[in-house]
């Protein structure tokens, strides 16, 4: 099933999509976040969708504003594509190759769960940035709490998937990571989730013999294709990522786990690293980024001007006087 959260005539609703993209509102439900947070997992979501079978059809998806499918409890963004690591590493810090430590575990960082945008919302330029980039990813959504899971157990904790665009201010990211922390403000302004939450069972026909989801991924800027890849080129499965995320802690309903950016033009920075120049150029106001994932859908966002950064002083060099 495909679930959508949407706004229509000043009302917020949750619906299941029919085959013709007509929205069939779920009775009495205003937030998919609350349903997922209840922790019933995939079966609970499928039962909820089944309750809409006799509900009169609502508006067509083209007549509404699509909201993010849910408001995440947390957002972990992984980096699971070798090709992406090679290109971006060269672009951001001038280093070639993939660090050997990358192969040891599916590394991730936490990003901002309070800066989530819908499938067609405008995206403001991060304050102080002149090098905005997109990142084409797929995210898994957790539907049941778990801790210290095996990959086999983890599969039952994934309730569904959505498209994930990790908007990145490359100039801010490059500067802050020289401190040895981050990324932080370079990734803090916007993340697109959408257009729908597709339940995990819907994507099982795409699973290959090694457990990866073989989904075609395409990125366009202003209607021109700049990247394409297969999700199955990940070096870890989503189940392995969930298992690693749950190691020594809990994953909880509503947690979102991004695949990391795909290769072959899944972001501009990878192309910059490979080409040795910024072509295509960084995103600017008026540019539209369209990302499509087979079996899930398309998000398309237009960049708009942001605000100027509030000035702050440089760090003080202290005397290190002691009491």
Specify the CATH number for the domain of residue 174.
3.90.850.10
pLDDT of residue 258: 98
88 and 63 housed in the same domain: no
16-39: pLDDT as tens digits: 999 999 999 999 898 999 999 999
105-164: pLDDT as tens digits: 999 999 999 999 999 999 999 999 999 999 999 999 999 999 999 999 999 999 999 999
pLDDT of residue 294: 98
End position of a domain, from candidates 67, 83, 109 = 67
SS3 150: coil
Structure tokens of 146? 């778990």
- In a domain, residue 309? The reply is no
62 and 38 housed in the same domain: yes
Q: How far is CA 149 from the centre of its chain?
A: 22
| Peptide bond preceding 207 in cis form (omega within 30 of 0) | no
- In a domain, residue 229? The reply is yes
Q: How confident is the model at residue 91 (pLDDT cuts 50, 70, 90)?
A: confident
166 and 44 housed in the same domain: no
25 and 135 housed in the same domain: no
* Residue percentage of the chain with pLDDT more than 70: 100
88 and 129 housed in the same domain: yes
For the question of whether the overall pTM of this predicted structure is more than 0.95, the answer is: yes
> Which residue, among 68, 175, 164, has the nearest Cα to 114 in the 3D structure?
68
pLDDT of residue 99: 92
Classify each residue of 83-102 as buried b or exposed e, where b means 16 or more C-beta atoms within 10 Å of its C-beta: bbbbbbbbbbeeeeeeeeeb
105 and 183 housed in the same domain: yes
- In a domain, residue 322? The reply is no
pLDDT of residue 96: 79
116 and 217 housed in the same domain: yes
- In a domain, residue 313? The reply is no
Q: Where in the sequence is the domain holding 39, given as residue range(s)?
A: 2-67
15 and 135 housed in the same domain: no
101 and 231 housed in the same domain: yes
pLDDT of residue 53: 85
22 and 79 housed in the same domain: no
**Number of domains composing the chain:** 2
Dihedral over alpha carbons 154, 100, 179, 171 (to 10 degrees) = -80
56 and 189 housed in the same domain: no
252 and 234 housed in the same domain: yes
């Amino acid at each position: 099933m495909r679930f959508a959260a949407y706004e229509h005539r000043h009302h917020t609703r949750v619906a299941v999509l029919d085959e013709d993209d007509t929205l069939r509102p779920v009775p009495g439900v205003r937030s998919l976040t609350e349903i997922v947070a209840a922790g019933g997992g995939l079966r609970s979501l499928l039962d909820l969708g089944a309750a809409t079978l006799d509900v009169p059809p609502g508006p067509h998806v083209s007549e509404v504003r699509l909201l993010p499918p849910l408001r995440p409890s947390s957002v972990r963004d992984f980096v699971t594509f070798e090709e992406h690591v090679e290109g971006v590493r060269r672009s951001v810090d001038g280093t070639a190759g993939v660090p050997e430590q990358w192969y040891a575990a599916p590394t991730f960082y936490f990003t901002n769960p309070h800066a989530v945008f819908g499938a067609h919302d405008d995206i403001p330029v991060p304050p102080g940035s002149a090098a905005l980039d997109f990142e084409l990813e797929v995210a898994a959504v957790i539907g049941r709490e778990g801790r210290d899971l095996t990959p086999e157990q983890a599969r039952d904790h994934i309730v569904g998937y959505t498209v994930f665009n990790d908007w990145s201010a490359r100039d801010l990211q490059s500067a802050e990571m020289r401190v040895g922390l981050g990324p932080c403000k370079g990734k803090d302004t916007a993340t697109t989730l959408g257009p729908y939450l597709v339940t995990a069972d819907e994507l099982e026909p795409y699973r290959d013999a090694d457990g990866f989801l073989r989904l075609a991924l395409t990125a366009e800027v202003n209607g021109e294709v700049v990247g394409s890849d297969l999700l199955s080129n990940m070096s870890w499965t989503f189940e392995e990522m969930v298992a690693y995320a749950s190691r020594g802690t809990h994953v909880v309903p509503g947690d979102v786990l991004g695949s990391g950016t795909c290769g072959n033009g899944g972001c501009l920075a990878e192309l910059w690293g490979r080409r040795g120049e910024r072509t295509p150029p960084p995103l600017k106001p008026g540019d539209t980024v369209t990302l499509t994932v087979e079996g899930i859908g398309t998000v398309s966002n237009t960049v708009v001007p942001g605000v100027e950064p509030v000035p702050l002083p440089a760090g003080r060099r202290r005397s290190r006087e002691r009491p």
